Structure 1
């Protein structure tokens, strides 16, 4: 079965140690979130797992057949329209342009874009629309593993929940495994099977939390209650420096 295994990973930038002895496994069909304060090494770890950074020490084994990435910023090509941006990965994989564009139209509509948006360029789109395009581009290639780097952080509550529901449907249908970086505990609880807490200076995993309940059963009340429990956890309090001064 496909999995992502991270063993004894250390990483430094110059003389600054960023990550220390990171170990975890992401199994097929799971969502694993890594939460922690800003500057703690979360994005560096994600980039190492996605092979966007060279691994210095330790081992990372990825047996998923395909993967894609959604960033905090949409990172769309400004000279390409919506459909051309979405179809980039398909064409890079060797799909004929006509087929790639048809698939891009279908997923664009699923992500709430309108037909009249298809020919627009990124400069003509709102921030929320650009993020819809970014998600569509990441998922149109039907990856087995999706890397998410805080992609909901700049979105309003309604759009955030809408995009999360699209992901949840794919997760429930066993179409997707996700490694998700966030500093938002509520996002992590809503989406994850397991949450790893990464403390900073250097980044180390200090605690994990498991959620076995179906994603579709995680209503707002469940998420709020679980978040309240986490905020009373001493390790969470010290990691996020929540102590009252």
Structure 2
């Protein structure tokens, strides 16, 4: 299924995947996959474990090359938030958040100011910025990872199931941080998740990757802006999709897969 229709149709296209295909050890993961993201659009990519969601993200972000097809990136700065925080253990939280700015040659004073501002936005206390990753809780490390992504003022952010390892309460907080930052700063985002409820909360549009090497098998544009859907609306949407054959790989007996 080709999906090259950004939900925010009036905005410029930031990313285009044009009929990409990939394989591991001779086994096809997906073929002829096409996808576009508009400026300011958050697209959630969902699918069962092992279907190639992370591979799509890695190709889109340039971490790996597709075997077939073409990727067009119409932006200058990107950031990636991984499942693990991937903080540098020999750097303080402040320096980890400012790392991308340091690589770009931003002066020290501006780096510190930006790191402290972004840390405050994600709920990190100033007293924690002089701590090393080993001294931070798992949730604090993931907050720092999000702050590091935001610090470079990216036009595109790739999220690879970044909140799966945190508890339910913190996951909700981190989701709200992403929703707020996206609305405020208008970056585009490709958000990989296997959690449909998370996808419905966060995204303008959802695309579904098949678990049987069929590429993208469904696309749904969501009503309203991310963050505007209450828990009842999210629950009802997910329950409606439980009856939709396009989402069958994500459900087991009508219940959302864990």
TM-score by length of 1: 0.95
SS in 2 for 1:72: coil
User: In angstroms, what is the RMSD of aligned CA positions?
Assistant: 1.4
- 2:35 matches 1:24: yes
For these two proteins, the number of residue pairs brought into alignment is 243
Q: Identify the match of residue 171 of structure 1 among 159, 179, 182.
A: 182
Counterpart Cα distance in 1 of 2:214 and 2:139 = 31
- 2:211 matches 1:200: yes
SS in 2 for 1:171: helix
Q: Which residue of 1 aligns with 2:70?
A: 59
TM-score by length of 2: 0.90
Q: Which residue of 1 aligns with 2:250?
A: 240
Unaligned 5+ runs, structure 1: none
- 2:237 matches 1:226: yes
Are 1:40 and 1:203, in contact at CA under 8 Å, matched by a contact in 2? no
Q: Identify the match of residue 45 of structure 1 among 53, 56, 80.
A: 56
Counterpart Cα distance in 1 of 2:161 and 2:227 = 21
Give deviations 1:152-189, integer Å, cap 9, x for gaps.
Answer: 11112221121221221222235211101000000110
Q: Which residue of 2 aligns with 1:104?
A: 115
What displacement does 1:215 show? 2.1
Q: Which residue of 1 aligns with 2:9?
A: none
Unaligned 5+ runs, structure 2: 1-11
Q: Identify the match of residue 19 of structure 2 among 8, 19, 26.
A: 8
List aligned pairs for 1:143-162, cutoff 5 A. 143-162=154-173
Counterpart Cα distance in 2 of 1:133 and 1:44 = 24
